[in-house]
A and B are shown apart, each in its own frame.
Chain A
Amino acid sequence: NAGVTQTPKFQVLKTGQSMTLQCAQDMNHNSMYWYRQDPGMGLRLIYYSASEGTTDKGEVPNGYNVSRLNKREFSLRLESAAPSQTSVYFCASSDSRGREVGHFGDGTRLSIL
């Protein structure tokens, strides 16, 4: 079982470049999330999608856009990367029955120079 799959695993960008982080889940979950993880700050929610066709801002949405392409896929886009967006990005999904987020991807380590 793949669970939640993120690509790429590593990426280095220059300031101002754009890129899209891909995420897919094979568990038929309704809810999907994007978090960023920074030292000492835990995980902070960027955007989430409660169901196919809907997206909402989380705690730190500035500088990001998302697309819930279908029930399986939820992508995160950086239109103009900034050094402050250097972080580890995690995609996650949940079946919405409970209030926890049950399944995380392996993460994407993104460095912006």
Chain B
Amino acid sequence: AQRVTQPEKLLSVFKGAPVELKCNYSYSGSPELFWYVQYSRQRLQLLLRHISRESIKGFTADLNKGETSFHLKKPFAQEEDSAMYYCALSGYAGNMLTFGGGTRLMVKP
């Protein structure tokens, strides 16, 4: 079975502080991991995928297979980063994603 855990429901930081949103997963094979973001009153959208090793809006995430983690990081948080963030895993079954419970990030001025 595949499982995604986001241990923090809420993360509150000040503008300019570093941010790390935690994601741990459980999967026996080689998963693909993703981060999705939902800004207030907007649709859920794909933020980044581990396979691309990209940086989007200053966010990066590295897949650590030893620790089965895919934490999302940003060195300096901005107020516009305030949103709901979901970590998701795709196993072998095509596009069937398993989502974590989500973390609400609040960036205070």
Residues of A participating in the B interface, judged by any CB pair closer than 8 Å = 3-4, 31, 33, 35, 40-45, 48, 50, 58-59, 90, 92, 94, 96, 98-102, 104-107
CB <8 Å contact, A44 and B99 = yes
**Shortest beta-carbon distance, B44 to chain A, in Å?**
4
User: Which among B11-19, B64-72, B74-82, B88-96 touches the partner chain?
Assistant: B88-96
The number of A-B residue pairs with CB atoms under 8 Å apart is 60
Query: With A42-B4, A90-B44, A104-B45 in contact, do A96 and B95 touch (Cβ < 8 Å)?
Result: yes
Q: CA–CA, A99 to B34, complex, Å?
A: 9
Q: Give every chain A residue within 8 A of B43 (Cβ-Cβ).
A: 3-4, 104-107
Residues of A within 8 A of B97 (CB): 43, 45, 100-101
- For A4, the closest partner residue in chain B by CB is B43
Q: How far is the CB of B27 from chain A (nearest CB, A)?
A: 12
In the assembly, what is the distance between CA of A48 and CA of B90, in Å?
14
Q: B49–A98 contact, CB under 8 A?
A: yes
By a CB distance below 8 angstroms, the chain A residues around B102 are 40, 42
A100 is contacted by which of B6, B46, B100 (Cβ under 8 Å)? B46
Which residues of chain B have C-beta atoms less than 8 A from A100's C-beta? 32, 34, 46, 49, 88, 90, 95, 97
**Knowing that A42-B4, A42-B86, A94-B95 are A-B contacts, what are 15 other residue pairs whose CB atoms are under 8 Å apart, sorted by A's residue number?**
A31-B95, A33-B95, A40-B102, A42-B101, A44-B99, A45-B97, A45-B98, A59-B98, A92-B44, A98-B95, A99-B32, A100-B97, A101-B95, A104-B45, A106-B43
Q: Which residue of B lies closest to A96 (CB)?
A: B95
Chain A CB count within 10 A is highest, among B6, B44, B88, B90, for B44
Interface contact A99-B44, CB-CB below 8 Å = no
Write the B37-63 contact mask toward A (1 if CB under 8 angstroms, else 0). 000000111100100000000000000
Most chain A beta-carbon neighbours within 10 Å: one of B32, B49, B94, B100? B94
Tell me if A31 and B94 are in contact (CB < 8 A).
yes
